[in-house]
């Protein structure tokens, strides 16, 4: 079977899921013929994506969030307005992908939660099978309880999920734990998609804390934490190295690199991360305790943190000062759920 991937480029979780599915499909003799990833001036494609997909990788312009001045979160309202003003640019992306879907001999289109991908699939009027994958579809199920209030946030999350799944014949809801499939015949709850390297690792119990930051503004808080706990080493991975930061003896900062990050993840004691679904799953599978720090004003990350805490794979860490000790995690049930589909 031949596959086309359309990948949301905001954050890194959807890209990691795409890489994991590519590995799984190719292991079963299928082919990912093309992978389109959304880009914007605010983000760049990591080198490891170029290495994995090679000349099969292409890009399209897609919506993105505007960051707060302190680079700790996003501006939801201004982001919506900004992306509405850029809609003429996105029309080009929609028709680029629409033409790709129609003209190429793909058996399946897999959309990793991208709005442009959803609109393109619906407007392609193609009989090809379109599958949309994301943890956000589990958040929309009756098994997840949203935090009280946030009515507008919930509305926009469900609206976004609906647009991403336009034209889809199947929806895959990634989940931390198993549940009976229900509420919509198109939606099936499945285990997380983890990269092959995770399954081949033999984790060790290290003496350092690994940190992954989606928003670089939190680096100052990690700096303060490293000063407070001089006996603990911190290894930080982020898209861009911070400028004018004096790195301490117990604090190292790296640019994001897939191989290096996974190696350190297998060796760390615990992980502090902005509350992405994928990073929590990878750490939990390796038996690491996870502390989540949702990006400011990012409702999806808030929900990811709540969901991770619900099943016990992570703890929400809204203030770094609440960190008191390095914990271990017993994630045998989670591991069994992941391995049930491996």
| Per-chain mean pLDDT for the chain | 87
Percent of the chain with pLDDT over 70: 93
Of 118-132, 200-214, 326-340, which gets the smallest average pLDDT? 326-340
Q: How confident is the model at residue 325 (pLDDT cuts 50, 70, 90)?
A: low
DSSP code for 37: E
pLDDT in tens, 28-57: 999 999 999 998 877 778 888 888 999 999
Q: Is the pLDDT of residue 175 over 90?
A: yes
User: Residue 88 in 3-state DSSP?
Assistant: helix
Q: How many CA atoms lie within 13 A of 294 on its CB side?
A: 19
Model pLDDT, residue 121: 93
Strands (E), the chain: 2-7, 31-39, 57-61, 108-112, 129-134, 170-174, 187-190, 208-213, 233-238, 251-255, 270-273, 289-292, 314-316
**pLDDT score for 268:** 92
Q: Residue 297: what pLDDT? A: 84
Predicted confidence band of residue 226 (pLDDT cuts 50, 70, 90)? confident
Taken in order of first residue, the domains within the chain and their CATH numbers are: 2-190 (3.40.50), 197-339 (3.40.50.2000)
Q: What is the pLDDT of residues 256-280, one digit of tens each?
A: 777 888 999 999 988 999 888 999 9
pLDDT band at residue 164, thresholds of 50, 70 and 90? very high
Q: What torsion do the CA atoms of 8, 13, 14, 16 make, to the nearest 10 degrees?
A: 130
Give the pair of three-digit tokens for residue 125. 């009027």
pLDDT computed for residue 81 by the predictor: 86
- Which DSSP symbol is given to 150? -
What confidence score (pLDDT) does residue 183 get? 56
For residue 47, the model assigns a pLDDT of: 82
In this prediction the pTM is: 0.89
Instruction: Give the model confidence (pLDDT) of 179-212 as tens digits.
Output: 887 656 788 999 999 999 999 898 888 889 999 8
Selection from 47, 4, 56, 46 nearest residue 25 by Cα: 4
> Looking at residue 118, what is its pLDDT?
95
Of residues 189 and 75, more confidence is placed in 189
Task: Over range 57-76, report the average pLDDT.
Answer: 83
User: What's the average model confidence in pLDDT over 144-149?
Assistant: 91
21-25, 308-312, 338-342: which is most confident: 21-25
Tens of pLDDT, residue by residue over 309-321, are 998 888 877 654 5
DSSP letters, 103-144, are HS--SEEEEES-HHHHHHHHHHT--SEEEEEETHHHHTSTTS
181 against 166, higher pLDDT: 166
Query: What are the structure tokens assigned to 225, written together?
Result: 């934490």
Of 129-133, 250-254, 325-329, least confident by mean pLDDT is: 325-329
pLDDT band at 244 (very low <50, low <70, confident <90, very high): very low
Confidence of residue 166 (pLDDT cuts 50, 70, 90): very high
pLDDT above 60 for 246: no
* pLDDT value of residue 184: 65
Give the pLDDT band of residue 241 (cuts 50, 70, 90): low
């Amino acid at each position: 079977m031949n596959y086309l991937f359309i990948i949301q480029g905001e954050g890194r979780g959807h890209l990691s899921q795409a890489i994991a599915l590519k590995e799984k499909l190719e292991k079963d003799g299928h082919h990912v013929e093309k992978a389109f990833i959304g880009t914007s001036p605010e983000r760049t494609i990591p080198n490891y994506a170029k290495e994995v997909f090679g000349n099969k990788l292409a890009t399209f312009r897609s919506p993105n969030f505007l960051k707060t001045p302190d680079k700790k979160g996003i501006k939801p309202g201004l982001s919506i307005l900004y992306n509405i003003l850029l809609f003429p640019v996105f029309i080009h992306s929609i028709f680029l992908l629409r033409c790709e879907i129609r003209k190429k001999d793909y058996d399946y289109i897999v959309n990793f939660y991208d709005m442009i991908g959803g609109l393109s699939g619906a407007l392609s009027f193609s009989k090809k099978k379109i599958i949309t994958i994301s943890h956000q579809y589990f958040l929309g199920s009756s098994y997840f309880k949203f935090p009280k209030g946030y009515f507008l946030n919930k509305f926009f999350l469900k609206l976004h999920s609906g647009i991403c799944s336009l034209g889809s014949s199947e929806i895959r809801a990634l989940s931390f734990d198993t549940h009976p499939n229900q509420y919509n015949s198109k939606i099936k709850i499945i285990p997380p998609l983890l990269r092959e390297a995770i399954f081949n690792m033999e984790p060790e119990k290290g003496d350092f804390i690994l940190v992954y930051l989606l928003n670089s503004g939190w680096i100052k808080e990690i700096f303060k934490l490293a000063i407070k706990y001089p006996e603990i080493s911190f290894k930080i991975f982020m898209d861009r190295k911070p400028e004018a930061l004096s790195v301490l003896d117990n604090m190292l900062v790296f640019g994001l690199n897939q191989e290096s990050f996974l190696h350190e993840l297998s060796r760390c004691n615990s992980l502090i991360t902005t509350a992405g679904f994928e990073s929590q799953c990878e750490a939990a599978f390796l038996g690491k305790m996870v502390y989540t720090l949702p990006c400011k004003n990012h409702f999806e990350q808030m929900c990811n943190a709540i969901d991770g805490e619900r099943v016990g794979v992570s703890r929400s860490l809204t203030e770094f000062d609440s960190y008191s000790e390095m914990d271990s995690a017993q994630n045998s049930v989670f591991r069994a759920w992941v391995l049930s589909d491996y």
